[in-house]
Amino acid sequence: MKLQPKNKNTYFLKPDPQMAGLLLYGVNPARIQKKKNEFINALLGLNANEEMRLTIISTTDLRKEPSLLIDTMKAQGFFPGPRCILIENASDRFTTLIQSVLMEWKHGDAHILLTATLLSPRSSLRKLFEDANNVYIAPIFDDPPSQGEVTTEIKKHNLPDIEKDALEQLFYLGQSLSPDEFSQTLEKISLYKLSDPSPLTYNDIKELAPYVLEAGIEEATNIIVEGRTSEVGPLLRKLESQGINLVHICAVSYTHLR
């Protein structure tokens, strides 16, 4: 079944253990990696590796020993709790095998998580997950994250109160950086404010991420201040093509000029 966009982020953070599997696909490996990790941590908890409840099966091993998938799915581990099998770089060559395994899946068996690159509408693996009732499929688009996704990421890092201007900057960073870069930036900010209960300010963020804030926005600001109006349109289109929302560009430029 297709996982609807409005339910996608919620599902990654609160998976349904009654479902047999999930297929993530898209062109951006970093975004796939982030969603994969979110899903695994939410389904299994943070001790899954230590408790051996996460099993990674390579496509090479699966080609050599197809029975490995169903044997692992049915196996019972020493530690209690949900289990998950991760298969990365899945493709249509495994559709028949995965279909037969999903038909044998019962509650208590390991969840099957697949990742893949971009799958065409004619992909047999994609069609399998779209048509089956006990699995979900979720395309991970290479679009800037929504404000809700950025807010969720910010909350994970337990930052203090955030001033309005600073929050606008964090939204800009969340939509401009890769998921890993944004997470690292938030971690850096969290450590910076560890013993400081005062609200997070615009200057705090500018101090910690000066290059990101200056590279595109200050260029746009300088062009506007200098009256080079013919250059404004092309630059804004360039920034927008990189996934930077024009509303955020205006907000950040306003703050910078003030």
3-state per-residue secondary structure call for the chain: CECCHHHHHHHHHCCCCCCCEEEEECCCHHHHHHHHHHHHHHHHCCCCCCCCCEEECCHHHHHHCCHHHHHHHHCCCCCCCCCEEEECCCCHHHHHHHHHHHHHCCCCCCEEEEEECCCCCCCHHHHHHHHCCCEEEEECCCCCCCHHHHHHHHHHCCCCCECHHHHHHHHHHHHHCCHHHHHHHHHHHHHHCCCCCCCECHHHHHHHCHHHHHHHHHHHHHHHHCCCHHHHHHHHHHHHHCCCCHHHHHHHHHHHHC
pTM here?
0.65
Q: In what order do the strands lie in the sheet with 111-116?
A: 54-56, 84-87, 111-116, 21-25, 135-139
Question: What CA–CA distance (Å, rounded) separates 219 from 107?
Answer: 56
Cβ partners under 8 Å of residue 177, min gap 6: 185, 212
Position 248 scores a pLDDT of: 60
Residue 73 · residue 85 · CB < 8 Å: yes
pLDDT of residue 215: 55
- What pLDDT, on a 0 to 100 scale, did the predictor assign at position 211? 52
Predicted confidence pLDDT, tens digits, the chain (258 residues): 988 766 777 888 889 989 999 999 998 888 899 889 989 999 998 888 888 899 999 999 999 999 999 999 999 878 888 999 999 999 999 999 999 999 999 999 999 999 999 899 999 999 999 999 999 999 987 666 777 778 888 888 888 788 888 888 888 788 777 777 788 888 888 888 888 888 988 888 877 775 555 555 666 667 777 777 777 777 676 566 545 556 666 766 666 666
